[in-house]
Structure 1
Amino acid sequence: MKERLLSILRGGDALKTPPPAGRMLYGGSFNPVHLGHLALIRYVIEHDLARSVLLMPAGRSPFKGTGQYAPAEHRLKMLELAVQGLSDDLQARIAISDAELRRPGPSYTAETLQSLDDGIDTALLIGADSLESFDQWKEADWILGRVPLYVVYRAGIDDAQVQSWRRRLQGFFPVANVYLIPFEPPACSSTYLRQAIATGAGFEQLKACLPQSVFAYIKHVGLYREEA
């Protein structure tokens, strides 16, 4: 099964199997972290797409307003709690960095990759929705000239659309190596979870997408109570 799935990872214009990355960088606001995030992390590790996964919660995305974020220390703690709920084998291959949380201003992936210049072969894991606008990322040409993109499908975005975005990006940046991962995580949304929690949703309503430890932490510290 593993070999079959790997064989249909798509890169460039032909089917080819990418070598496992030494490290897969997976960034995001994790506001809050949910079971869709965890399912993707598990998939990457269990299918040997990378020897390790580095989780990088963003200080502030240049594409989002500051008002959408829970405080950095809470997003970091929720991520730690979620990872602690995984098996020991998975945890041994996962690291969490607060580098972007400590860096002032918007979080730019190029700056993060430059700070990780330690000789470890690194790939970048993004959602299909990010692929559409990747050419607008700061120093996109620098990123694509140095690390491959591993793109995971998202609910509501079909294969033809993702393929179109990949071709468009590679038209702008012919050196780009873009692999489409044949896996769609559970359709969980941080935006939905914040809104549901703000209206008083309990764990039974949210357990399909939210780890219980994360829900308990959110209730304990009172996060997302004023989400519009």
Structure 2
Amino acid sequence: MIKKSSSLRLAIFGGSFDPIHYGHLISAMDCLEQIPLNKIIFMPCSRSPFKKQNPQATGHERLEMIQLAIEPFKNFEVCPFEVQSPAPSYSIKTAKQFHKLYPQAELFWIIGSDQIAGLPRWKDYAELIQIVKFIVVPRSNYPFEKTDYLIPLPKIRYVDISSTEIRERVKKDLPFFHLLPEAVFNYIKKHSIYIPNKIAHEK
């Protein structure tokens, strides 16, 4: 967990990260430099409330992969708060926890523009936007207008990579080395994650 400070600009980057890939890292670095921010906390969820199935990799595996991926970045950290909490994961619970820990910090939440239309369906949405401001990473065909709590990233490098694509390539025994950090690639291969018929349940 990060050290407490009275002058933090802290962003939470939530998601399944099943697995983390270069697209996540590039978006996070753009946010860090362009806003700018002091820290970005990668927050893998236990399970999204909008999804019926758990991520295919376990919470422990996803935490390990994130830690391997962000090792070279001194301003990136990973937090187990959501994967250690009962599913589903609600952003308001996480935001309140961080606001309690860092009451003087300016809190942000990183999302893609494809998520904006669904924001009003997030649990306690009206309260959530009083706690965090959303940094919006543009996605193709998902334009949006800036508001007091939606901050557009001025310049973004589009990286057309998805975790779903990586999982499918693993299942089909296709190359995926080029889509994520070498340490994460080696971890997936070593632990046979995403291999067909491998059971991966949250413990």
Q: The TM-score by the shorter chain falls in which range?
A: 0.7 to 0.9
Tell me which of 193, 199, 203 is aligned to 1:223.
193
TM-score (normalised: structure 1): 0.76
**Equivalent residue pairs, number:** 187
Output the CA distance in 1 between the equivalents of 2:37 and 2:88. Answer: 27
The equivalent residue for 2:34 is: 47
Does the alignment pair 1:178 with 2:150? yes
Output the CA distance in 2 between the equivalents of 1:101 and 1:111. Answer: 13
Tell me which of 187, 194, 202 is aligned to 2:167.
194
Contact 1:36 1:187 in 2 (8 A): yes
Identity across the alignment (%): 27
Output the CA distance in 2 between the equivalents of 1:104 and 1:60. Answer: 9
- Match of 2:109, SS? strand
- Match of 1:74, SS? helix
The equivalent residue for 2:15 is: 28
The structure-2 alpha-carbon separation of the partners of 1:71 and 1:48, relative to structure 1 and needing over 3 Å to count, comes to same
1:67 to partner: Cα distance: 4.3
Does the alignment pair 1:103 with 2:85? yes
1:42 to partner: Cα distance: 1.5
The equivalent residue for 2:59 is: 72
Q: RMSD of aligned C-alpha atoms?
A: 1.9
Does the alignment pair 1:162 with 2:143? yes
Unaligned runs of 5+ in 2: 1-6, 198-203
4+ residue runs over 3 A deviation: none
Output the CA distance in 1 between the equivalents of 2:130 and 2:143. Answer: 21
Output the CA distance in 1 between the equivalents of 2:45 and 2:191. Answer: 20
1:95 to partner: Cα distance: 1.6
More helix by share: 1
The equivalent residue for 2:184 is: 214
Could you tell me which amino acid in structure 1 is paired with residue 111 of structure 2?
I
| Larger-gyration structure (1/2) | 1
Could you tell me which amino acid in structure 2 is paired with residue 99 of structure 1?
F
1:21 to partner: Cα distance: 6.7
- Match of 1:107, SS? coil
Output the CA distance in 1 between the equivalents of 2:116 and 2:186. Answer: 33
Output the CA distance in 2 between the equivalents of 1:93 and 1:218. Answer: 24
Could you tell me which amino acid in structure 1 is paired with residue 196 of structure 2?
E
1:43 to partner: Cα distance: 1.3
Contact 1:37 1:185 in 2 (8 A): no
- Match of 2:183, SS? helix
- Match of 1:102, SS? coil
1:220 to partner: Cα distance: 0.6
